[in-house]
Amino acid sequence: MKGLKKKRRIQIIALAALALAVSTALIGYGMRDGINFFRSPSQVLAEPPRADEVFRIGGLVEDGSLARGQGEVIRFRVTDGGATVPVSYRGVLPDLFGENQGMIGTGRYVGGVFEASEILAKHDESYMPKEVIDALKEQNVYKAADGGEG
């Protein structure tokens, strides 16, 4: 009788381990398109991503680079002080979007241009995403709005 209990216990443990492995694999498979990695313009130019890879880019909208094209297409350049990447976006920009302002865009890097599917702008004078601040500090470009370290 003891041998049967031990065998049953081992079977239950093996089945639980298999169920855990399968559920982990399914969660990873389901999230594969939902995970967007952040890159600064310097990182994008140093190691260009694949054309089918969706990622986030962030930095400051370069002064004098905002141009509205035919229809809904908007073009501008995003910089971290060390590198500049051209961005193309089709849609309506957030109200607080402007030149020399912080932004994060989600999209793909195709043919040397970041084709954004979503643009986020900072929501007040003092906030900027941590990733953007870190990228700007790396290039010695970041200056906090209040004179402090952000």
CATH of the domain at 111: 2.40.50.140
pTM exceeds 0.85: no
pLDDT band with cut points at 50, 70 and 90 for residue 29: confident
Separation between Cα atoms, residue 44 and residue 84, nearest integer Å: 9
Averaged pLDDT for residues 36-41: 81
Q: Give the model confidence (pLDDT) of 51-75 as tens digits.
A: 888 888 988 888 888 887 767 788 9
| Contact (CB, 8 A) for 41 and 79 | yes
Q: State the pLDDT at residue 53.
A: 86
Q: State the pLDDT at residue 14.
A: 96
Q: Which two tokens stand for residue 95?
A: 């109200």
Residues 124 and 91 reside in one and the same domain: yes
What domain range is 85 assigned to? 37-138
- Whether residue 147 lies inside any domain: the answer is no
The residues, ordered by sequence, that sit 6+ positions from 6 with a Cβ below 8 Å of its Cβ are none
Residues 25 and 44 reside in one and the same domain: no
* Average predicted confidence (pLDDT) for the chain: 82
